[in-house]
Amino acid sequence: MGKFINEFKEFAVKGNAVDMAVGVIIGGAFGKIISSIVDDLIMPPIGWLIGGVKFTDLKVTLPTVEIPGVEKTAAATINYGNFLQTAFDFIIIAFCVFMLVKGINKLTKKKAEESAAPTPEPEPTKEEKLLTEIRDILKKQ
């Protein structure tokens, strides 16, 4: 049992597990922000432009079948408005994540190019220059 606990501690404090947990938490919060932007800022004007329609209210009510002796139930509906709302949320969240990843990739690429840039050859010291001149003079003789 002690070995199992030690393995779990090692896993839990590894950088990858902690980074992943932080990513999931931030992603959840980010999703809520984007959903609010879509629900509260983007969709109301779109609904207004198409005649005051609230997307989540869009649905198709299926006809009810009355069976004698059976209690009448509420009509079944196909809530395609919720689907449209969720699809808009997904598209906007995917676009935001794409832009975020694109920005991070650009910064990473720029950093990699800077570190991969060839460093210029250092200038020879005065002693090296003098020794080179002496060598060249000796070669000529």
Domains of the chain: 2-63+75-116 (1.10.1200.120)
- Best CA proximity match to 42, nearest among 97, 104, 84: 84
Alpha-carbon distance 119 to 33, whole Å? 45
What residues contact residue 76 under an 8 Å CB cut-off, 6+ apart? 61, 62, 64
Q: CA-based angle 112:117:119, to the nearest 5? A: 140
Q: How far is CA 140 from CA 52, 73, 134, in A?
A: 95, 110, 10
**Binning pLDDT at 50, 70 and 90, where does residue 96 land?**
confident
CA atoms within 13 A on the CB side of 3: 0
- Read off the pLDDT of each residue in 76-85 and give the average, rounded to a whole number: 87
- Best CA proximity match to 36, nearest among 47, 26, 44: 44
Q: What residues are paired with 78 via a beta bridge? A: 60
**Average pLDDT value over all residues in the chain:** 81
Can you give the pLDDT at residue 15?
61
Residue 95 has pLDDT above 80, yes or no: yes
Q: Nearest 5°: phi and psi at 78?
A: -105, 110
Residue 138 has pLDDT above 70, yes or no: yes
- Read off the pLDDT of each residue in 14-29 and give the average, rounded to a whole number: 78
What pTM was computed for the model?
0.51
